[in-house]
Structure 1
Amino acid sequence: MSSSGGPIQITVRRNAAGGWLADRPIAMKIFSTVLLVALVGVLVGVLGITRMANLGDGLQQMKAQNVENMGHLATLRGGMAKMFRGMMQFSLASATPAAKVTAGNAIRAADAVVNEALADYTAAVGDSAARQAPLNQFVEGWTAYQILRNVTIFNEPVPASYTGATGNEAYAAAAANMNNGIDALQAAESSEADKAAAAGAASYRSARLVMILSLAIGLSIGLLLAFLVVRTVKRQVASVGGALNALADGDLAKPAEVQIRDEIGAMAAAVNRARMGLADTVHAIVGNSRTLDQSSQRLAGVTARIAVSAQETAAQANVAAAAADEVSSNVSNVSAGSEQMGASIREISQNANDAAQVASEAVTVVETTNETVQKLGDSSTEIGNVVKVITAIAEQTNLLALNATIEAARAGEMGKGFAVVASEVKDLAQETARATGDISNRVAAIQSDTANAVEAIAQINDIITRINDYQLTIASAVEQQTATTSEMSRSVAEAAGGVANIATNVTNVATSAQATNATLAEADATVAELSGLASELLTAVNRFRV
């Protein structure tokens, strides 16, 4: 498992689109793109409305000028047509005087219509240079035509204010000026209408071009902004996704490169923090696993030394049992010989000396056995201390596994893989705790058996001491043996019972030593299992690369 050189430094880059926009929240980026497109639409709409309004004003102006002027000219021509019709009716040979009066009235009425239309048209065109010459031509021809017509048809005198020519030629010239003038006016109005229509068409084309260009530029900017936003978001999501995939594969050394400070940047920073926290947890688990493995190895050494001490204790206990059997046999002989005490004082004295020597040897053996059993108790205490260390390590491992489970739960989908590892670590820690608890119980049983053995050996020592005292009393009271035969027999019987107890207790010590050996064998198996669990824990965390 590799290790990184230190915490990841999270840097913020600036792309070509500008760091300010890149650092804005995603909602603001999307809203900015939509807002830009909306502003383009509003701008194009306002521009279109403005240009359409201008076009409408132009059409309204054309209506006010050209259409109304054409209406005045049409009214004027209509009046002239009525006048010509009245003149034809007046000039008919078959016309009666009444018909002539009617025709004359029609001519006067038509003149009024023409004059009114001419006045309206003159007021409408104002000082228009394009219309002024044909208008003057029409007015001049119309004025002369009315005078010459009245002179010709109605036989009216020529007005004094009229200085023009008279006669048919003048009359025809006035009619020509009148007709040419109105034709020129209509041509001028048609020309102005064409100009207004051309101006409206040009305005429409200009407005359409401006709207198309504005729409194209706005949409291009919007598409460019959308492309930059999508590219930035996609790049950051890919970076975070790569870090998460590496984390799922056990690689804790690959960071999520942060380029912006929006929601994705915050998520990448959170992934980096979780990754570093997970790496620290894995480091801690590795350290504790190695400590657990080393402790299990030390515990294996301690149990090996305890096994050697237990074997020595068993050997000493066997020696003590043999000595106790010998003492029991001697006491039995003494008990049998007490019935013949009177005849075998010397034999009794010799046996008493032998019994004293054996008792002294038994005291020595019991003291040696007591020291051995004391060593066994010290070794049991050492085992208990080591087991406490293992228990503390298991509890710490369990706590680390719980913390890892909590961190994995906080990471959500990103921590599922590590949650499984944390669960396995927790199970291994609990199994280690159960194994150390079993060792503690067995060590407690060894300590209890050792205490019982020490107490039994102390009783043996007391009994052997009493036997020694009895033998000394027997040796010193050989001269009085005859008088005290009954008392000696009773004492010898008690000694025989005590020696039997000694033999039983020494046998129990040997049995306890054998039980200690069996318990130590189980402890060795448990230590081996604990070492295997530590190895499995190291294997589980070694899949992570930090």
Structure 2
Amino acid sequence: KRPEVDAMLKLSPDARDAKLAGRVMSDGETVLTQVTGITQTIEREIRILQPGLLRFLAVRAAAGLTRTTAGNSALLLSANLRAQRAFAPAELLTLTADDAKTNQAWTEVRELVEVDDMPPALKATVATAQTTYFSGAFKSLRDNVVVALTAGTKPPVSVDDWRSQVIPALETIGNVGFAAMAELNVAAEQAAATARTAVIVYAVILMVAAAIAGLGLLVVVRRVTLPISRLTESMQVLAGGKLDVEIPSTTRRDEVGAMAKAVLVFKEEMTRNAALEAQALETRQRSEAERRTSMRALADDFEQAVGSIIGSVASASSQLHTTAQGMSEAARKTSSQSTAVAAAAEEASTNVVMVASSAEELGSSVTEIARQVEQSAQMSASAVAEAAKTGDVIRELAQAASRIGDFIGLISNIASQTNLLALNATIEAARAGDAGKGFAVVASEVKTLATQTAKATEEIESQISAIQATTQHAVAVIEGVGTQIRQMSDVASGISAAVEEQGIATRE
């Protein structure tokens, strides 16, 4: 519709279409409403993003309201001037209301721009509008026109002259809004430049921070992550039982160095435990060897002692048997000679010489028998003494075996205590987790050693019990042999006494 309006403006006022003017006003209000909506949307965004620019928006809004109300009153005056008629009461009321709105809005504009930090150009524009529209020649002309149209007298100016003066005056008010928007654009450009600078600064700071973070990450990886990884590998190798692994980072004086020193202590403890385990194994093997040697020596000594005793008993028995045979032979001879004496006695009357000879032989035989019986008694007494000594030796052997049994009991108690300590160490190692695996292995080996020691102790104890039983049986046997020998000695003594009496009788 702009071409129609331009064409209409070229015509004289009387030739212009009144309906077109109404449509122009209606369409203008619609456009202004749309522009106002867009402006409000922009103002909301500015209010959120840059609250400092709101003062320019306030100046523009107040200047726009001033321009609108002043323009409405100017149109009303133009219409009445063109018609050469006075104001109707309603028109006068409208004019008064528009003038009040204009003055109120312009007062707000002046208050907004009177602050110190308002741009000078905007203040100058407001001052121009103040001197052009609200004071000076135009203000006097407008007041006279209003008075004339109110009173119904002839106005002091024609409509064309009025339009030629009111339009520039209204433009000074509109220029205030344009100046406010221009200053708004300048401030917005400055804010944008500041924002761009801030973005650049922040980007540089971000890049510097990223570089520092990357450098820090590299330092962390090289100073912390990699050393900890190497420490972890060393601990895994240690957990695998390889004790010759080198522990890294032990010379550092930070937390990683402290961890490395702790791992080194763990390695030293594992090495010491391995040495103790080897020493325990060596001690166990040496103890077993000494135990076997002691048992073998004890068995050999016992065998020699028992063999010596049995040999002595066998020798004494052999001698006793020989003596008994001699005594039997002597008794047989005595019986034979007694028979001969009886025969000689029967023949005493005829052969005294033969009797004397036989009596002499009988005396000799009795003497020989007495000597042999006495020798047999001495041998029996010697055998009894040897048997008593053998019994004492075997009793001492039994006492030694009993003392060995006591030592075996002590070893068994030590093995039980060692087994209990190994069990406690296993429990503590289980509580310690992966760090106590080495201690758990040592505790298991100690427990195994204690169990084997207990088993070996039980075997030795059973062997000692068997030796004690055999020793007690040997003591009983030897005591029985001594009793038999003493009885044989008593018999020999009786025989010796009888033979001696027979010898006396024979000599008589």
TM-score interval for Structure 1 and Structure 2 normalised by the shorter chain: 0.5 to 0.7
2:180 paired residue among 169, 189, 199: 189
CA distance in 1, matches of 2:95, 2:478: 164
Distance verdict in 2 for CA 1:150–1:475, change over 3 Å: closer
Distance verdict in 2 for CA 1:453–1:230, change over 3 Å: farther
**Residue pairs, 1:10-159, within 5 angstroms:** 59-63=50-54, 65-93=55-83, 106-107=94-95, 109-126=97-114, 128=118, 129-142=120-133, 143=135, 144-149=137-142, 151=144
CA distance in 1, matches of 2:158, 2:131: 16
CA distance in 2, matches of 1:443, 1:383: 7
CA distance in 1, matches of 2:248, 2:460: 43
Residues 1:463 and 2:487 aligned together: yes
Deviations 1:459-505 (A, max 9, x none): 3553354345334423431255589xxxxxxxxxxxxxxxxxxxxxx
Deviations 1:277-310 (A, max 9, x none): 7457534564354244224323323322332333
1:309 paired residue among 305, 312, 335: 305
2:428 paired residue among 381, 403, 410: 410
Residues 1:246 and 2:238 aligned together: yes
Structure 1 residue 318 displacement after superposition:
2.4
Structure 1 residue 189 displacement after superposition:
0.3
Comparing 117-126 with 208-217, which one deviates more in the overlay? Answer: 208-217
Distance verdict in 2 for CA 1:255–1:96, change over 3 Å: closer
Structure 1 residue 428 displacement after superposition:
0.9
CA distance in 2, matches of 1:257, 1:453: 78
Whether the aligned pair in 2 keeps the contact of 1:320 and 1:366 (CA below 8 Å) is no
CA distance in 2, matches of 1:298, 1:153: 148
Pairwise CA RMSD of aligned residues? 4.7
Residues 1:435 and 2:459 aligned together: yes
Give the AA of the match of 1:135.
Answer: V
Give the AA of the match of 1:310.
Answer: V
Secondary structure in structure 2 of the residue aligned to 1:478:
helix
Secondary structure in structure 2 of the residue aligned to 1:92:
helix
Comparing 106-115 with 267-276, which one deviates more in the overlay? Answer: 267-276
Structure 1 residue 236 displacement after superposition:
5.4
CA distance in 1, matches of 2:106, 2:475: 147
Structure 1 residue 174 displacement after superposition:
4.5
| Residue in 1 that maps onto 2:445 | 421
| Residue in 2 that maps onto 1:320 | 316
Whether the aligned pair in 1 keeps the contact of 2:82 and 2:159 (CA below 8 Å) is no
CA distance in 2, matches of 1:213, 1:190: 33
Residues 1:290 and 2:286 aligned together: yes
Bigger relative CO (Cα 8 Å, ≥ 6 apart): 1
CA distance in 2, matches of 1:241, 1:447: 64
CA distance in 1, matches of 2:162, 2:85: 26
Comparing 284-293 with 76-85, which one deviates more in the overlay? Answer: 284-293
**Residue pairs, 1:153-192, within 5 angstroms:** 174-175=165-166, 177-192=168-183
2:468 paired residue among 444, 449, 473: 444
Whether the aligned pair in 1 keeps the contact of 2:65 and 2:105 (CA below 8 Å) is yes
TM-score (norm 1): 0.60
Whether the aligned pair in 2 keeps the contact of 1:402 and 1:426 (CA below 8 Å) is no
Structure 1 residue 438 displacement after superposition:
1.5
Whether the aligned pair in 2 keeps the contact of 1:391 and 1:436 (CA below 8 Å) is no
Whether the aligned pair in 2 keeps the contact of 1:355 and 1:471 (CA below 8 Å) is yes
Distance verdict in 2 for CA 1:481–1:238, change over 3 Å: farther
Q: Structure 1: any 5+ residue segments left out of the alignment?
A: 1-54, 157-165, 484-546
Aligned length: 417
Secondary structure in structure 2 of the residue aligned to 1:188:
helix
Q: Structure 2: any 5+ residue segments left out of the alignment?
A: 1-45, 150-156, 341-361
CA distance in 2, matches of 1:61, 1:228: 46
Structure 1 residue 134 displacement after superposition:
2.1
Deviations 1:60-112 (A, max 9, x none): 4422x22221122112111222123212321334x65565x765665555444
Structure 1 residue 138 displacement after superposition:
1.9
Q: Which has the larger radius of gyration?
A: 2
Structure 1 residue 225 displacement after superposition:
7.8
Structure 1 residue 411 displacement after superposition:
1.0
| Residue in 1 that maps onto 2:29 | none
Distance verdict in 2 for CA 1:244–1:298, change over 3 Å: farther
CA distance in 1, matches of 2:490, 2:143: 189
Distance verdict in 2 for CA 1:312–1:240, change over 3 Å: farther
| Residue in 2 that maps onto 1:7 | none
Give the AA of the match of 1:90.
Answer: N
Structure 1 residue 200 displacement after superposition:
4.3
Distance verdict in 2 for CA 1:206–1:338, change over 3 Å: farther
Whether the aligned pair in 2 keeps the contact of 1:79 and 1:113 (CA below 8 Å) is yes
Whether the aligned pair in 2 keeps the contact of 1:331 and 1:355 (CA below 8 Å) is yes
Deviations 1:144-189 (A, max 9, x none): 2232345568659xxxxxxxxx999996775465244224322210
Secondary structure in structure 1 of the residue aligned to 2:339:
coil
Distance verdict in 2 for CA 1:105–1:56, change over 3 Å: closer
CA distance in 2, matches of 1:336, 1:231: 117
CA distance in 1, matches of 2:302, 2:129: 146
CA distance in 1, matches of 2:303, 2:290: 20
| Residue in 1 that maps onto 2:352 | none
> Matched residues, percent identical?
12
| Residue in 1 that maps onto 2:343 | none
Give the AA of the match of 1:121.
Answer: V
